[in-house]
Amino acid sequence: MAMWVFGYGSLLWNPGFTVAESVIATLPGYARSFCMRSIHHRGTEDHPGLVLALDEHVESACEGMALRVADGAEADTLEYLRERELISSAYVEKNLTIHLADGRDVTALVYVIDEGHAQYCGGLPLEEQAQIIANAVGGRGPNTEYLYNTATHLAEVGLHDPALEWLHDRVKTLTT
């Protein structure tokens, strides 16, 4: 059985594993937002950044990419993703049904936010998010890079996220 991963943030432009197939997909019941403080990759404990996570919202749906893992690479990919995504246990690993743009429904590995975790910060106003992102830097680089790469990749595949687009433009203004 094929292993699928749902990408909605950095997995879109930096999956870190061999992707055999990628298809635009929708995950019902969740919304993408900068609702997780990043204390490792895009910020520090003293100056946290923000990264995207999936917040459970029954009436929402998140558009992203379904990434099929290359045959034979499933175990290594799972190990890699757990090391990358579960670094602080703010994400919860789930297997959820996603709807592919070509009409298929598949079960995918999805990382969603643990709303009870200390790094959860859902509901921050967009301006506050922009100020944080404009100034944070972590072990994988500036928080701005994460935002710009994600917004650019979503646009390249034809996905529209108004909040992310607003943040992209606002952070560009703040940093130039």
Q: Roughly what angle, to the nearest 10 degrees, separates helices 126-135 and 143-156?
A: 120
Catalytic residue among 79, 85, 93, 156: 85
Is position 145 annotated as part of the catalytic site?
A: no
Q: What does residue 37 show for φ and ψ, rounded to 5 degrees?
A: -75, 130
Strand duo 19-38 + 49-69: pairing: antiparallel
Taking the C-alpha atoms of residue 3 and residue 106, their distance in angstroms, rounded to an integer, is 9
Which residue's structure tokens are 């895009």? Answer: 42
37 vs 23: CA distance, rounded Å: 29
103 conformational bin, left if phi > 0, alpha if psi -120 to 50, beta if neither: left
Report yes or no: 89 and 113 within 8 Å, Cβ to Cβ: no
Active site residues: 85
